[in-house]
Amino acid sequence: MQVPDEPMGLDALVDYFITLKLADGSSIKVHRRAAKASVCLAGMMDVAPLQNEFEFKQADLTLAIMTRVVEYLHHYQDQEPKLVEKPLKSDKFADCTNAWNAKFVEMPIFDLLYTMTAANFLQIDSLVNLTAAAFACKFKCNSLSEMQKLLGLPEDDKVLDGEEEVRKKYPEYFAWLLPPVEPDSKMD
C-alpha cells in the first residue's frame, strides 16, 4: 500500500513517519502504523503523540540491525504476522514459515541474534518469535562440533572433550535436539 507523502486532514499535525535516533548518531525512519507493532514504540508515541523523533542510547541498536527491524515492521504493517509453530516441524526453516520470513532471517548467526535482541528490547513479539525459531532451527539436531563451526569457535576447543559421555549420562537433556518421532499407525 502506498502512503501519501503529505499528511491530510487532522493527520496533518503529525508526520506519518517517526525518526529513531540511534546511539551512534545515525537515524532511521519508520512509519507510525508499522511502529505500533512494537509495544515500546507504541508506548512512546502514546506518551508523546506529536513527537516525530525518539532517541535510543543502547549501543547494540545499530543502524544495520534497526534497518532489518524496520524492514520487518514495514512488511507487516497492514497484516498480522503468523507465528512460527513450536516445536519446529523441520530442520529446514523454510518448511516452518512463509517464504518472506525464511528469506528475511537468512543472515549471519550473530546478526540474527542481535536482531532478536533488538526485537526483544522493542517488544516486537512476532519478530522475537521468528528470530528465536530461526536461531533454534540452525542448532536443531546439530552436534556440538557443528555448533562450534556455526558460531565460529575453534574446533580444538576443550568444550568437545567428554561430549559423548555427557550425552550418555544425561540423554533427557539432549532429547529435544532429535527430530520428532512419528507415532505408530497401529493402535493396540
Q: 52 and 90 share a domain? A: yes
pLDDT averaged over every residue in the chain: 82
pTM of the predicted protein model: 0.73
- CB atoms under 10 Å from CB of 51, counted, come to 13
pLDDT band at 159 (very low <50, low <70, confident <90, very high): low
Tell me whether residue 90 is in a domain: yes
Is 43 a member of any domain?
yes
Give me the residue label for grid cell 537515524: 27
Radius of gyration of the chain from its Cα atoms, rounded to whole angstroms: 21
Grid coordinates representing 101 are: 520470513
Q: How far apart (Å, rounded) are the C-alpha atoms in residues 141 and 138?
A: 9
**2 belongs to a structural domain:** no
Query: pLDDT for 8-61, tens place per residue?
Result: 455 544 568 999 999 999 999 999 999 999 999 999 999 998 899 999 999 889
Strand partners, 28: 20
| Domain shared by 47 and 19, yes or no | yes
Q: Assess whether 97 and 148 both reside in one domain.
A: no
Q: Which residues contact 19 (CB under 8 A, 6 or more apart)?
A: 27, 28, 29, 52, 53, 54
Q: What is the tens place of the pLDDT at every residue in 139-153?
A: 775 676 777 777 776
The predicted structure's pLDDT at residue 166: 72
If one counts the domains in the chain, the total is 2
| Domain extent at residue 160 | 144-176
Domain presence at residue 25? yes
